[in-house]
Amino acid sequence: MRKILLLTLIISISSVSVYSQSSDEVRYVSSEMADSSYISGDYATAAAIYEEILSTQGISQELYMNLGNAYFKMDQIAKAILNYERAYLIDPSNSDVQFNLELARSRIVDKEVSVNEFFITVWINRLSTSLNVNQWSILAISFIVLMALAIGIFVLSNKTALKKVSFGISIISLVISVLGMCFAARQKNNLTNNGTAIIMSPSVTVKSTPNENGTDLFIIHDGRKVKVLDSSMKEWVEIRLNDGNEGWIPVDALEII
């Protein structure tokens, strides 16, 4: 009986190992095929394979970047921007993603209007995107550990100078760890609850009300990034531009980032 159970366990483990190895090979071959198609100039095939990998095997910044590059080569700028934006959400600190995104944005009709922001807001935004969510989390944990050590030294030491130094280190560590956790949470929220979208239609007329009879407000073109305000209706969605203009457009005219 014991031999039978042992044999069954060995077979089960072997099956799992073979399945895992097979899955890895599928992922590797698929990525290799997509990369090969891209290098050979068959961008449509490369894009289709990247799309399939993303839908069946999970997301990654590299895949979104590669997919965006394929669409950019096919001059499908709106789709390129959409995937660059998705890559940016995963790691906003990646300079290659930032460069490709700005390059793609330079190719669209509607240019982003600069909005004057308080310098502290600009500084905080830049600081929060200087690292990705994992890096901020690691930084926060590291300084929590450092803070604990500093507090321990403060409590156990009998030297006044050492107490002052350890107290200062603990305060600084607390501030940095809190900032790290806040920035990590902010990026995580942007990734999971993103409320922005990219216009995919060549041009769309923004209406004052969610129906065709509404007043025409303005026209926006493909590749424009918008903020989704209300998506509760079946066929219409309310959007806002970064310059503050708002209105309604058909839901099939955009795609959520």
Q: Is the dihedral of CA 221, 46, 44, 253 positive or negative?
A: negative
Query: Can you give the chain as a three-state secondary structure string?
Result: CHHHHHHHHHHHHHHHHHHHHHHHHHHHHHHHHHHHHHHCCCHHHHHHHHHHHHHHHCCCHHHHHHHHHHHHHCCCHHHHHHHHHHHHHHCCCCHHHHHHHHHHHCCCCCCCCCCCCCHHHHHHHHHHCCCCHHHHHHHHHHHHHHHHHHHHHHHHCCCHHHHHHHHHHHHHHHHHHHHHHHHHHHHHHHHHCCCEEEECCCEEEEECCCCCCCCEEEEEECCCEEEEEECCCCCEEEEECCCCCEEEEEHHHEEEC
Share of the chain above pLDDT 90, in %: 59
pLDDT digits (tens, 9 = 90+) for 188-239: 888 888 889 999 999 999 999 999 999 999 999 999 999 999 999 889 999 9
* C-alpha dihedral (63, 112, 228, 192), degrees to nearest 10: 30
Q: Can you give the pLDDT at residue 115?
A: 65
Q: Can you give the pLDDT at residue 33?
A: 86
Q: Can you give the pLDDT at residue 2?
A: 43
pLDDT digits (tens, 9 = 90+) for 51-102: 999 988 888 999 999 999 999 999 999 999 999 999 999 999 899 999 999 9
Q: Can you give the pLDDT at residue 20?
A: 39
pLDDT digits (tens, 9 = 90+) for 25-34: 444 446 788 8
Q: How many CB atoms lie within 10 A of CB 58?
A: 9
Reported for 232-236, long-range contacts at CB under 8 A and 24+ positions apart, including other chains, are 235/210, 236/210, 236/211
